[in-house]
Amino acid sequence: MPDQAVKGKVAIIGAGDVGATTAYALMMSGSVSEIALVDIDHEKAEGEAMDLRHGAAFVKPVNIYAGDYEDAHDADVVIIAAGASQKPGETRLELLERNVDIFHDMVPRITDGLADDAVVLVVANPVDVLSYVTWKVSDLPWHRVIGTGTVLDTSRFRNVLSKNCNVDARNIHAYVIGEHGDSEVLVWSATHMAGVPFDDYCPVCDKDCDLNNRDLIADEVQGAAYEIIERKGATYYAIGLATTEIVESIIRDENSILTVSTLMDGQYGLEDVYLSLPAVVNRGGIRRVVDLDLDENEREQFIESGELLSNEIAKLDI
């Protein structure tokens, strides 16, 4: 039987580097049939949509256009990639406060009139706090407001492990959890190569492998964004692909397990804060969160990550 025609609409709020690259990745994936680009600079959104449409002959049919907030109301997934960028000399908290003000105005315009089964996916940074703000401002159920979280960090972890252990990244199971940021936690206790724990695989690796490489691997994963920004000014290709992975899981009702940012409801003693843990993602958003059997050090690091973000949230006027 021929493949069923792909149906699914995505609205992307913010047509900057991340928003436009995500639109390109979605177009190339063939996973959606309609993409609306919405930006305060409508002409910029029109230019991006036009540029993407000119590749129509090389991809599966997809309608791409510049729209406005109302075009998000019948979308299956709304991606929020808009927000203020950090100014020279501006603190992270000051940036947070400016973005909270922006989200207070923007989110209701997106979510008032939103379809009952639509999922809101936050990409803008700091993604965990802004996902929490989106949930609070929108009054949507928590499972329909998701942050991209550490999906990208997890991919970075697998990539670095792939280089270190000479194993295809697709055959590595590994997770990064907690904050998408400096307090993120690499879960070594759940890292496997084809079902073999990392500590068991590493000594028989055909490369010159040393268990002490853990610190070097962690440094490379956690410092990746800083290194890229120093070299080219911003990161957008990999986050575009990570966002597409999440969207596909929603649109196709895949029940994929992804380390998205979601509301903590007692996990490891944490509540009322958004953090990343492996979660089953499908058409309804998050079906359930998976509790990992963390070792004592990982558990402590995860709790510290949550407390750090809770303290940031407490300083905001939400």
Q: Which residues are catalytic?
A: 180
Please provide residue 287's backbone torsions phi and psi, each rounded to the nearest 5 degrees: -80, -45
The 3-state DSSP class for residue 313 equals helix
Rounded CA gap, 34 and 229, in Å? 31
Contact call for residues 32 and 62 (beta carbons, < 8 A): yes
Q: What is the DSSP string of 53-83?
A: HTTGGGSS--EEEE--GGGGTT-SEEEE---
Length of the chain (residues):
318
Evaluated on CA atoms 246, 257, 99, 133, the torsion sign reads positive
CA distance 206 to 216: 19
What is d(CA 79, CA 118) in angstroms, rounded to the nearest whole number? 11
* Greatest CA separation for the chain: 59
DSSP 161: H
Sign, CA torsion 101/65/16/257? positive
